[in-house]
Amino acid sequence: MPQSRVTIRDVAKHAGVSHQTVSRVINNSQHVAPKTRKKVQASIVELDYRPNAIARSMALGRTCLLACLAPNLTDFTFASLVEGAEVEARKHGYFLISSSAPTPDILQHLLNELIDSRRVSGLIVINPYVDERYSYLPENFPLVFIGSHAREPGISSVTLDDELAGYLAVQHLLSLGHRDIAMVTGVMIEDCAQKRCIGFEKALKEAGITHTASQVIQGDWSATSGRDAFMALTETGKVPSAIFAQNDRMAIGVMQSARDMGISVPEQLSVIGLDDLPLASYFAPPLTTIRQDIIKIGSKAAQLLIANIEEPSHPTHRLTINPELIVRKSTAPFNHQKEEPIELSHNQI
């Protein structure tokens, strides 16, 4: 016979208190004496009592359900953000639903389902300004943005310091003696791509270097776009000495394309990415990159959302997480003996 589930009345009997007192302890009521609270908590641990989620929601007057909406859930960064938020939510007794919304229309349908039917208590929205999805978000509802700081007051947000990330990447290349530095951007409608561009330009300006529009190619965050961007950069027959790709996948595409053209990384071309994917240290050569703590960003977003739900008067925050330079083998000092840039033959282009 399977063991029956421990109930709140079992805990009350074990602790020698009423079931109402146990309920107050579970829901963190301040109207319980410290000695009684400790006794009830000890009984909960000893009996391995697990509060019923539905009953707890009814007692609190809200669901303990959150939702995280991303443009997709196949992207490593998005999936890791969700993971960070989910782990943090569980620590506070909340459950998190994650769903992909590639278009504003799908987002609108999901919002109706999640808020009206599922009755979620709050939403985390990744990249709210990638299109018009922000205009469908509910007003006067607990929201936290990831990837963009809110344009509207009253909404907390968590982002990487993307400007600093771009700045650190170019500063690293400059410190190695590179002056002919190109960049492969992400989708320029996204805040992070724009801010990484600002960091790129700031570092070059401080070094007294003027870059041209032909040195900046837009990608779409994929390795394929990194490959195509490198091919576009070499259409003139010359290769920059260093490239900053705004994410690791595009950096890998750049390195693959360079290898196909017989260009050695880092001896002839230094490449730096951004993210620090788990496999970045296993690439050939291991990728120098700017690390963003994706799990931490997701976790902080969940913390802010729960604080907003439990204390509606809780002040909003615009948290910015610092990036970190991770130096590996895909960048190297510029060869000053090589005065001219690499020139490609017609067959290599």
Q: What is the CATH number of the domain that holds 29?
A: 1.10.260.40
The tens digit of pLDDT for each residue in 215-244 reads 999 999 999 999 999 999 998 888 999 999
Q: Are residues 271 and 211 in the same domain?
A: yes
The reply to whether omega before 278 is within 30° of 0 (cis) is no
Residue 83 lies in a domain: yes
The tens digit of pLDDT for each residue in 56-67 reads 554 445 568 999
- Residue 2: per-residue pLDDT: 46
Task: Please report where in the chains the tokens 């109706």 appear, as a residue.
Answer: 112
Q: Are residues 78 and 177 in the same domain?
A: no
179 has a pLDDT exceeding 80: yes
336 has a pLDDT exceeding 90: no
- Residue 146: per-residue pLDDT: 97
User: How much of the chain is in helix, strand and coil states, percent to nearest 5?
Assistant: 45, 15, 40
* Region at 289 (left for phi over 0; alpha for psi -120 to 50; beta for the rest): beta
Vertex 227 angle, CA 223 and 231, to 5°: 165
The letter for the amino acid at 118 is R
- Residue 337: per-residue pLDDT: 55
Count structural domains, the chain.
3
Query: For the residues 297-319, what does the mean pLDDT come to?
Result: 92
Q: Are residues 215 and 110 in the same domain?
A: no
294 has a pLDDT exceeding 70: yes
Residue 150 lies in a domain: yes
- Residue 54: per-residue pLDDT: 46
Query: For the residues 330-345, what does the mean pLDDT come to?
Result: 70
Residue 241 lies in a domain: yes
Beta-carbon contacts of residue 207 (< 8 Å; ≥ 6 apart)? 174, 179
Q: Are residues 46 and 89 in the same domain?
A: no
Q: Tell me, what CATH number does 136's domain have?
A: 3.40.50.2300
Per the CB < 8 A criterion, the answer to whether 289 and 276 are in contact is yes
Q: Are residues 84 and 205 in the same domain?
A: no
Q: Are residues 177 and 268 in the same domain?
A: yes
Band of residue 41 on the pLDDT scale cut at 50, 70, 90: confident
- Residue 51: per-residue pLDDT: 62
Range of the domain at 243: 162-292+326-343
49 has a pLDDT exceeding 90: no
Q: Are residues 166 and 257 in the same domain?
A: yes
The tens digit of pLDDT for each residue in 273-288 reads 999 999 999 999 999 9
